[in-house]
Amino acid sequence: MSLPKVLDKIDAGLDASIERLMNFMRIPSISTDPAYDADVERAADWLVENLKSIGVTAEKRTTPGHPMIVGKIGEELDDKTPHVLFYGHYDVQPVDPLDQWKSAPFDPQIVDSAHGKVIRGRGSADDKGQLMTFVEACRAWKAVTGTLPCRITFFFEGEEESGSPSLVPFLRENKDELQADIALVCDTTMVSRGVPSVSTQLRGMLKDEFTLIGPSIDLHSGLYGGPALNPLREISRIIASFHDPETGKVTIDGFYDGVKEVPADQLRQWNDSGFDEDVFLGDVGYSQRHGEEGYSTLEQLWARPTLEINGLWGGYNGAGSKTVIPSEAHCKLTCRLVGDQDPAALRKALRAHVEARLGPDLKIRWENDLSGSGASVMNLERTEYEAARGALSDEWGREAVFSGMGGSIPVVGFFKSELDLDSMLVGFANDDDAMHSPNEKYDLESFHKGTRSWARILDALATH
């Protein structure tokens, strides 16, 4: 019956926990941009030292990309003690547009908000703050009881924001070392503020990128304008063809193959989850939903696939003007996948859709080696789910809900395919945390109650 003491320990040590998180956040571990490689390495070293300070036998493991971290604690406990693998990522998103930040992205600040104090800075919510809720819960358990209620394997990667190129090979090479009863992942949001949530389905993701090439050199729009083929005009025409303007549906042949409608009872759960569509949309400047006709906002977010343009550029974007017809136009896009949509088949269909629309003299270059992963649906027959739901309900004083998740956490699919390991996703982020955006933040409530929640879940998993 150590749990109350552990929770008191967490409360008493909150300021120190926050200080550790802020030190972690000060390291600009942007994994997608090689300019930050040394910082990503530094973040890995920081995390290894932090785990060791709890008594975890943690190591940094090199990969062809950014390092993995593997750590173990509670190995002295007997085999009947549950063994969980906790996953998180220590890398973060790029920070542009920099001029929209209210404070430097890697100089974390504690500021007041409409919902109490928050920690502002890149990585606060995605995923350093969430990752640390679990680490700090373990720290408190160790401090109070000298051990942990479960055997724990820590597994952290530094490539989650850049497609995890090293993940699958690493899982294959270290299959035995990473065995556990279940994987715990803390990289998700609560369905709405104050409503604890276990995410039971995640969308998959397909990334692609192409360049259209028109003239062999940039041209003067006066000397060539008229007979010249302008790739900016062509790329706009092609992008405009991806969606049906009436229904909002993606027009690529076979795009919806493998997409299933949401069962009525699950829809009812979602509708009763306290999610407020108007607040969710209004917070980011929308007066209405803009997705597929005939689906609720939660369905559009959790159960419907999308095709989004994430980057579009070509020609002159500097000060003043330049009368140029550029040689190239570029597009980065991602599809969010659901149900049984097959990333490989969709990539083929997407590329066929684009190439069928190339006119004479218009060439295309595709970016290769871009990742794709299918959607994940959790195995709700695992008893750990109800145990965690109970622990979360106790902490938050409100029944926890089984929700969906619009984002993609490919590792969940790979844990299943490579390690035959089921995952449970519990996260404490809020929709207004501006993950991937300027002024990313994490509520102190999320950090504090999140840490307490993990302390309770570890206890529940050991005793259920």
Instruction: Please report, as residue ranges, which positions from 76 to 95 form the binding site for its own copies (by CB under 8 A).
Output: 93-94
Spatial separation of the C-alpha atoms in residues 106 and 247, rounded to whole Å:
42
By CB under 8 A, residue 214 contacts its own copies? yes
Minimum distance of its own copies from residue 346's CB (angstroms): 15
By CB under 8 A, residue 301 contacts its own copies? yes
Beta bridge partners of 58: 71
Minimum distance of its own copies from residue 411's CB (angstroms): 14
By CB under 8 A, residue 316 contacts its own copies? yes
In this structure, what token pair is assigned to residue 2? 């150590």
DSSP letter at 192 equals B
Residue from 133, 153, 164, 297 touching its own copies (CB under 8 A): that is 297
CB atoms near residue 437 (< 10 Å): 15
By CB under 8 A, the residues from 104 to 143 that bind its own copies are none
By CB under 8 A, the residues from 392 to 411 that bind its own copies are 405-408
Q: What one-letter code names the amino acid at 260? A: K
Spatial separation of the C-alpha atoms in residues 334 and 414, rounded to whole Å:
19
CB proximity list for 237: less than 8 A, separation 6 or greater: 357
By CB under 8 A, residue 309 contacts its own copies? yes
Nearer to its own copies, 264 or 319 (CB): 319
CB proximity list for 317: less than 8 A, separation 6 or greater: none
CB proximity list for 285: less than 8 A, separation 6 or greater: none
Q: How many residues bind its own copies (CB under 8 A)?
A: 98
Whose tokens are 């989850």? That residue is 273
By CB under 8 A, residue 291 contacts its own copies? yes
By CB under 8 A, the residues from 258 to 287 that bind its own copies are 281, 284-287
By CB under 8 A, residue 368 contacts its own copies? no
Sign (positive or negative) of CA dihedral 74, 77, 78, 82: negative
By CB under 8 A, residue 146 contacts its own copies? no
Minimum distance of its own copies from residue 127's CB (angstroms): 12
Listed residue (87, 104, 81) closest to 181, CA to CA: 81
Residue from 77, 104, 349, 370 touching its own copies (CB under 8 A): that is 370
220-242 burial: b if 16+ Cβ within 10 Å, else e: ebeeeeeebbbbbebbeebbeeb
Binding mask 326-365 for its own copies (x = CB under 8 A): x--xx-x-x-x----------------------xxx----
Binding mask 42-81 for its own copies (x = CB under 8 A): ----------------------------------------
Residue from 318, 368, 397, 420 touching its own copies (CB under 8 A): that is 318
